[in-house]
Amino acid sequence: MGVGKFAPRPLSERPAEVFASAEEAWLWFCRCQMARIEGVRFVADAGDRGRPCDPDDIFRAVDGLRRKGVLGARHIQVLGGFGCRLTPPDPWSGDSSTEAELWSQGLERLAEVLRRKGIVA
């Protein structure tokens, strides 16, 4: 029996709107993950705008950077922690400069991958 041709499904019928920054993409991913944990099921074209990726694409990019050693455990911890808060580090709320630096480094490294994939402008 022959193998069928794989044709990926389109993410959206609308033109895709790329993210302005890796931070915007990361916080969008975190919102999607929090919604998944709460039991929300995702359907293509259900959002207010078309996106050039699936939330899992952001996860795979971060996981790939982690496996290559580009992002360390502390980077992942900071990205995850502030992602759950849905805000970047803020010195006025008591966040340390070390956390802010790890946040910036992590997002800079992630931005490179996401730009290559056409997810971030």
Report the Cα 76 to chain-centroid distance in Å.
12
Q: Is residue 79 part of a domain?
A: yes
User: pLDDT digits over 95-120, tens only?
Assistant: 999 999 999 999 999 999 999 999 99
Q: Is residue 45 part of a domain?
A: no
- Beta-bridged to residue 109, according to DSSP, are none
Under 8 Å between Cβ of 18 and 111:
no
Specify if 34 maps to a domain: yes
Residue 30 has what pLDDT? 97
How many structural domains compose the chain? 1
In a domain, 108, yes or no: yes
Quote the Cα angle for 38-44-47, to 5°: 70
Within a domain: residue 57? Answer: yes
DSSP 104: H
Give the span between the Cα atoms of 3 and 10, in whole angstroms.
21
Q: Could you tell me if residue 69 is inside a domain?
A: yes
The predicted-structure confidence for 85-99, as pLDDT tens digits, reads as follows 999 999 888 899 999
Q: Copy the structure tokens of residue 55.
A: 């939330």
- Provide the domain limits for residue 95: 22-39+50-116
Inside any domain, residue 71? yes
Per-residue model confidence as pLDDT tens digits over 25-82: 999 999 999 999 999 876 656 667 778 888 999 999 999 999 999 999 999 999 999 9
Residue 94 domain flag = yes
